[in-house]
Structure 1
Amino acid sequence: MATWKPDPSFYPSPRLAAKAPPEALAYVAMFDPTRSQPDAIAVVDVDPASNTYATIIGQVSVPYAGDELHHFGWNACSSCLCPNAPHPHMERRYLVVPGLRSSRIYIMDTRPDPLRPSIIKVIEPGELAVRTGYSRPHTVHCGPGGIYVSALGNGEGKGPGGIMLLDQESFEPLGQWEVERGPQYFAYDGWWHLGYDTLVTSEWGTPDMVEDGLVPEILLGSRYGRRLHFWDLTRRRHLQEIDFGEEHQLVFELRPAHDPTKAYGFVNCVISLKDLSSSIWTWYRDGEKWAVRKVIDIPAEPADPDLLPPILKGFKAVPPLVSDIDLSMDDRFLYVSCWGTGDLLQYDVSDPFAPKQTGRVRIGGIVSRATHPGAGGAALNGGPQMVEVSRDGRRVYFTNSLYGAVDAQFYPEGIEGWMVKLDAAPDGGIAFDPRFFLRWPAGHRPHQVRLQGGDCSSDSYCYP
């Protein structure tokens, strides 16, 4: 008789996932902005009882320079327990790590030695383009029947971008996900409501619009992405487009409710052309259609032009530049990274249409250069960027680099990398862990954080 058991890090519901054991390791993408040495995945000790707490204790470097490792994900997650596409005997074992600039994808095995993952497969850009028609892989999600990878460009590096699928066991590129694309052209993030058989995508721009940084003429002309797209997940067909309007630019990170019976989620808009503010929007079911509502406005802060980088001097203000958000497992708290001002904000979103701010810390920032209790009073730059929340919601990790070409526009002196951790109180409130300030090794900058065993942006659940 078979006695196989599902991977112990898979949970049928977010409520059970929140009771998981605390993580001991974090995997962090790190890249060389000069593209002269290989990028790597660092392994960070996040066990407070360890004598190597808040240090890098392992690393796997890729064999080439210039990949720009960015967003990455697991090969499998709790969605493997879903009844519509069950894969209960998969393992959360492999990291799927794309190079955003090179279009190369690395598959890394974490099981033999979690501190030193090994590269077991490399998907070259030419193979990716031929097999899927896409390039510039951006975001990885394990999902129903495969690994979903959003891509900014087509095989020639132009538009449209979209979503490709990789096989969950062989990691072979299977092909383009979309059957009927409709009006969708720009790509960025993609995630879903499994309970509503709906996939959602957001927008940035094609590779030629982003690879040298934000192009002022494109930005001020409102020609970057500003739309959400809703799809039939099973039939892979476009259903609906929502345009946020010409004022709003860069509609980025999708955070659907973890509870599969809830048909709403949150997305950030990086910048308003009217006043440089950032905003958070809730999407939700409205009858037979999807709708959006702006629920949070975060204003720009007036600033001395002498303290601003050239791209901002004429505006005499620091934009918040909300570039990442994350939603706690119980769908109660939304975390918002303000990479420009240096704020990491916590909102109670128990009512997704009436958020209440419940916490704030400041670190780095274009003008404020705020310090950290563990930094010895040193002024810091960069700001809260990629944010990740532990499954139980008690720990929040973030790093300070956005994207090599954009870093240089807003922090022209060069970002000195760091990673920090916040402690979150059960009913709201956040504070720096004074013991956790990881000054990143010179020559690389840290980007996305993935927690061992899963985190609040890695898994989908099919049961409430």
Structure 2
Amino acid sequence: MNLRPDPTFHATPQLAMQAPTENFAFTVMLSPDGSQSDGIAVVDVNPKSKTYGQIVHKVIVPNKGDEFHHFGWNACSSSLSPLTGHAFLERRYLIVPGIRSSRIYIIDVKEPLKAKIHKIIEPEEVFAKTGYSRPHTIHCGPEGIYVSTLGGGGEDGTDGPPGIFIMDCETFEIIGRYEMDRGKQDKHYDFWWNLPQDYMVSSEWGLPPQFENGVVPEDLLSNKYGHSIHFWDLRKRKNIQTIDFGENYQMALEIRPAHDPAKSYGFCGVVVDTTNLQGAIFTWWRDDDGTWQAKKTITIDPRPEKPENLPPLLQGFEAVPPLVTDIDLSLDDRFLYVACWGLGEMHQYDVSDPMNPKLAGKVELGGIAKGTKHVNGKPFAYGPQMVEISRDGERVYWTNSLYSTWDDQFYPDDEGGQMVMARVGKDGGLTLDKDFYVDFPKGLRSHQIRLEGGDCSTDSFCYPNV
């Protein structure tokens, strides 16, 4: 424990934007067939370094078949909450779950070039203490580490609904389930919150049989994946309202609230509208009477394509859907980045007016039946997927793998893990950095990214901007 708050904790998003720039990124390496162990790559992101854009250290775990996916910090700026008893924690450990194994690794990255495994939590402990499986999103809260899950109990994860459990942020012991009253929530994916306003929002993907072996076309076309978001009283741990986007809006995934806690709105990305293959972004907000509302504010069209150029899954549609699989919001709440994994495009929207987003920039890279190469001439497998933004908003990093079985369905002829970075213009616009291109070791793919000192999908802030 420190004797003063960690200097990477910031009271407001404004202050976080003024913090020193990141020197390292931590990125998932996953073995799609389980033939290798998964790991975390430490990537040099300092342009003044001789090893810029290279993997400079790896933490390889002892087990196989984990399938690393999402991960997060043990502590962040939420530790500065007036309600916390943990203001003197360090942002030191990465909590890395295996989405297939339900095993959780605690990795000490205090010295990035000497990062190592600190603790392993076996799946049996997760099952016994929570009744949940398939841990997914990690968020550090004022009083502990919150972990969302994609599966309930039983071998196939359908014995009861999935939910959230809490871990001790110092010992990493699993404490127990979060929910006291889950209301209509019966599927899970992402979640995030506004700490001073005492609410949380969660979203839905599907149950394990609907995603583990790839997308189930019959379930998708009959609208059986998640299409709702849930609003919670954070402290009472109670679902207070559910908004159904409409059953055709399949797979409501990433939740991105405004970073300034004085604001009461945020965004959610929807993978596909089954009536027309469009991708969509919904803006949600709270009315003066406390009621939550949501409205579709961004629509992204599919691209027509000859059937012979498409994977079997899409040939009957004669089109490439955008497949909105990740979104991220800059700390100043100005730019929303939308990964269109199917089209092979990263979109940048000016959301200064959250009800009227405007396209401000775009990068084409990869893509179904397109395969756009990087500006350096090298290949980019699949399409833009997990996106992360530097605190100052000047750099946007992304990787390319969605989920092993889904990669193989939508991109059956592609293979490889890449990470790239684009620079952001002062008034918007995206330009790929030709010198930053990370090609992951053969047989390993890449997914979520975390940045040294925090990033735009990690920290939640407790004090409003000045």
Q: Same fold (TM over 0.5)?
A: yes
Paired with 2:192 and 2:461, the residues of 1 have a C-alpha distance of 12
Equivalent residue, structure 1, for 2:327: 325
Contact 1:130–1:155 (CA<8 Å) still a contact in 2?
no
Equivalent residue, structure 1, for 2:240: 239
Contact 2:381–2:418 (CA<8 Å) still a contact in 1?
no
Shift of 1:438: 1.4
Match status 1:122 vs 2:120: yes
Equivalent residue, structure 2, for 1:347: 349
Paired with 1:3 and 1:411, the residues of 2 have a C-alpha distance of 47
Contact 1:150–1:162 (CA<8 Å) still a contact in 2?
yes
Shift of 1:195: 2.2
Equivalent residue, structure 1, for 2:187: 186
Equivalent residue, structure 2, for 1:356: 358
CA deviations 1:108-131 (Å, max 9, x no partner) are 1112x3123111111111110111
Amino acid at match of 1:146: G
Contact 2:423–2:431 (CA<8 Å) still a contact in 1?
yes
CA deviations 1:303-352 (Å, max 9, x no partner) are 01111000000000000001000000000000000000111000000000
Equivalent positions of 1:54-453 (< 5 A) are 54-111=53-110, 113-156=111-154, 157-158=157-158, 159-286=160-287, 287-374=289-376, 376=377, 378-453=378-453
Moved over 3 A (4+): none
Equivalent residue, structure 2, for 1:456: 456
Paired with 1:109 and 1:179, the residues of 2 have a C-alpha distance of 32
Contact 1:133–1:175 (CA<8 Å) still a contact in 2?
no
Contact 1:422–1:431 (CA<8 Å) still a contact in 2?
yes
Q: 1:3 to 1:197 in 2, by over 3 A?
A: closer
TM normalised by structure 1 equals 0.98
Paired with 1:415 and 1:198, the residues of 2 have a C-alpha distance of 41
Report SS of the residue matched to 1:17: helix
TM normalised by structure 2 equals 0.97
Q: 1:115 to 1:384 in 2, by over 3 A?
A: same
Contact 1:395–1:422 (CA<8 Å) still a contact in 2?
yes
Amino acid at match of 2:128: V
Q: 1:362 to 1:413 in 2, by over 3 A?
A: same
Q: Give the number of aligned pairs.
A: 460
Contact 2:26–2:451 (CA<8 Å) still a contact in 1?
yes
Paired with 1:80 and 1:325, the residues of 2 have a C-alpha distance of 25
Shift of 1:379: 4.5
Match status 1:31 vs 2:30: yes
Q: 1:216 to 1:4 in 2, by over 3 A?
A: same
Q: 1:120 to 1:127 in 2, by over 3 A?
A: same
Match status 1:52 vs 2:54: no
Report SS of the residue matched to 1:130: helix
Paired with 2:2 and 2:171, the residues of 1 have a C-alpha distance of 24
Q: 1:179 to 1:31 in 2, by over 3 A?
A: same
CA deviations 1:171-212 (Å, max 9, x no partner) are 000000001111110000011011210011000111122111
Paired with 2:409 and 2:272, the residues of 1 have a C-alpha distance of 15
Percent identical: 55
Contact 2:2–2:90 (CA<8 Å) still a contact in 1?
no
CA deviations 1:357-394 (Å, max 9, x no partner) are 110010000111101122x3x45331100000000000
Contact 2:80–2:142 (CA<8 Å) still a contact in 1?
no
Paired with 2:15 and 2:53, the residues of 1 have a C-alpha distance of 27
Contact 1:149–1:164 (CA<8 Å) still a contact in 2?
yes
Amino acid at match of 1:25: F
Amino acid at match of 1:294: K
Instruction: Tell me how large the CA RMSD over aligned residues is.
Output: 1.1
Paired with 2:316 and 2:177, the residues of 1 have a C-alpha distance of 43
Q: Return 5+ residue gaps in structure 2 as ranges.
A: none
